[in-house]
Amino acid sequence: MRPGHVFVVNADVTALQCDAWLCPTDDSFHVTAGFGKAVGKPLGGFLAGHRWMPDQLAKIFERPDKGPIIVLGRIGRPPARNPEEVSGLIEALLPVIDEFVTLAKQHCERPEGRPLRIALPLIGTGAGGLRGAKGDVVRPLLAHLAAVASGHHIDLILCTVNALTWSAVQSARKDDDWRLTDEENELAADLAAEARAGRLVFFIGAGVSRDAGLPNWQDLLAALHGEDISTEEKASLLNLDPRDHATLIELALGGRTHLLERLAQEIKRHERFGLTHSLLASIGAEQAVTTNYDNLYERACTRPGNALNDDLTVLPYGRVAENRPWLLKLHGSLDELNRQDHIVLTRPDYMSLARDRSALFGIVQALLVTKHLLFVGYSLSDEDFHQLVDEIRIAIGSPDSEHVLGTVLTTSKPRSTDEIGGRRVSE
C-alpha cells in the first residue's frame, strides 16, 4: 500500500466527487450557506433532529445512494481573542479530523484501484472561531493531515474557497510532501514556470472525466446500446473502431436525435467534478482544449455561488473576453444539444471534423506553436491524441526539432518516447 497524499485544491467541497466529505457545524447543528445546499439548507440554518453525544466530534449526516457520504463535524466555536485561544482552537480541530476519518473508513465502500478519497474545507477559518487567524491554522493543519493520510493510507483533499487562500496553503507545504524524483521535481518546476508566464495550456482527454466516474469508451458505447441488441451482438461489436461502433448505434436507435439523447442521459448522470478536474482548475490556466462532451471542467472552474460558466468562456459557444479564461470544446458540448452537428461521435462526424471546424483547428494550431501543451487524460494509443499530435507535426514541421512541444501526464511508462517530441512525467 502506498502512503496516502494530501491534495490541496481551490474547489467547492460540496461539488467534488469523493468518497466522503466533512460539513462543518457547531454544538447546535447550524450550517452556513456555503455548505447549506448540500444538506437541504440553501440559505444556511439549523439541522433539525440531531444531537451530539457527550464528547462526540463527528457523525454521519447522510449516506446517499449516489455521491459521497456527508459527515458533520463539530467545529463551530466563538472567535479566538488572543494567541492562547487561537492555539487552543487549533488543537480542538485536530481530533475532529481524526473522528471524521475513522467514520469515513468505517462507512465508505473500499474503492478499487485507488485509495479512499475524503475531502474537507479549510476548517475553523469561517465560523469556527479562527477567521482572523488563517495563517496560524495552515501549517499545523497540513502537518496533521499529512500524518493522517500516511498513517491510514488514504488521500485527503483540502478544499479552499478562493485562489488567494489556495496559493497561501500551497506556499506553506514542504518540499517532501510530494515524494518526487529529482527528474520529476525539475519537470514540475518547469511546468510551474510555464503556468506563471501564462504559457501553459491544458489538453484534457477522457481520462480526466473517468476520474469523476464517467465510463470509458467501450462502457459508454455498451450503455448507449442499452437493451436494443443481444449480448452476442454487443460482444461482436467490441472489436470495431469506436467511431464505427457509434455509427451502428446511431442506425440502431433510429437516428441522430435518439443517439444524442441517450448520450446526454448517460453522461449527465455525473454532476460532480473529479479530483483531476479540480487540480487542473486550481492552476488557473488561461486556455484549455478538450475533446470531452461533459461540463465537469467548467464546474470545477466555477466559484461557489456563481452560475455555470460565469468564470469561464466555452468556445465556440461564447465570446472571448479580456482577463477571462476560456475552454475550447473540439468535439462539442452536451450543454448545446440544440446544435446536434457539434457533437463528434460517429465516423461521419470525424471525417467532416477538420473541414467543418477549420477555424477551431486554427486556434489549436496557434496554441501548438506559441504555448506549452500539457496533455492530461489521453492514452498514447488514443485516436484523438494522435490527431492532436499530427497537428503538432504539421504546425512545427521537422520531427527532428529539439523544441519541446509539451508534456504528457501518464499513469504508466510509454512504450516509446518519440510520439510527441516532448517530455514525460508519471502522475
Q: Give Cβ neighbours of residue 345 (< 8 Å, ≥ 6 apart).
A: 243, 246, 250, 259, 263, 331
Mean pLDDT of the chain: 85
pLDDT in tens, 342-384: 889 999 988 887 778 778 878 888 888 889 989 998 876 666 6
Residue with the bigger pLDDT between 418 and 323: it is: 323
**Residue the block writes with cell 504555448:** 371
Instruction: Note the pLDDT tens digit of each residue in 145-156.
Output: 999 999 999 999
By the 8 A CB rule, do 367 and 289 touch?
yes
User: Does the domain formed by 6-179 have CATH 3.40.220.10?
Assistant: yes
Helix (H, G, I), strand (E, B) or coil at 191: helix
For position 382, what pLDDT does the model report?
65
Kindly report the CATH number that applies to the domain delimited by 189-210+270-426.
3.40.50.1220
> How do the domains of the chain map onto residue ranges?
6-179, 189-210+270-426, 217-267
Query: Do residues 23 and 179 lie in contact, with contact meaning Cβ atoms separated by under 8 Å?
Result: no
Helix axes 358-370, 383-396, angle to 10 degrees: 70
For 81-107, the pLDDT digits (tens) are 888 888 888 898 999 999 999 999 999
Q: Name the grid cell of 276.
A: 483531476
Chain segment 156-196, per-residue pLDDT in tens: 999 998 888 999 899 888 877 778 888 888 989 999 999 99
Share of the chain above pLDDT 70, in %: 89
* Cα→Cα distances 20→17, 70, 155, 404, Å: 9, 6, 11, 40
* Residue linked to cell 437516428: 255
Dist. CA 100–CA 97, nearest whole Å: 5
Does pLDDT of 337 surpass 50? yes
- pLDDT band for 296, please (50, 70, 90 cuts): very high
Place 424 in a pLDDT band, splitting at 50, 70 and 90: very low
Residue 417 is predicted with a pLDDT of 41
Which residue bears the cell 448507449? 224
Residues with Cβ within 8 Å of residue 204, at least 6 apart in sequence: 280, 288, 289, 290, 291, 292, 297, 376, 377
For residue 316, is the peptide bond before it cis, meaning its omega torsion is within 30 degrees of 0?
yes
Span of 22-31, 52-61, 398-407 with lowest mean pLDDT? 398-407
String of DSSP letters for 194-225: HHHTT-EEEEE-HHHHHTTT---HHHHHHHHH
Cβ pair 198, 191 in contact under 8 A = no
Q: What amino acid occupies position 27?
A: D
Whether the predicted pLDDT of 414 surpasses 60: no
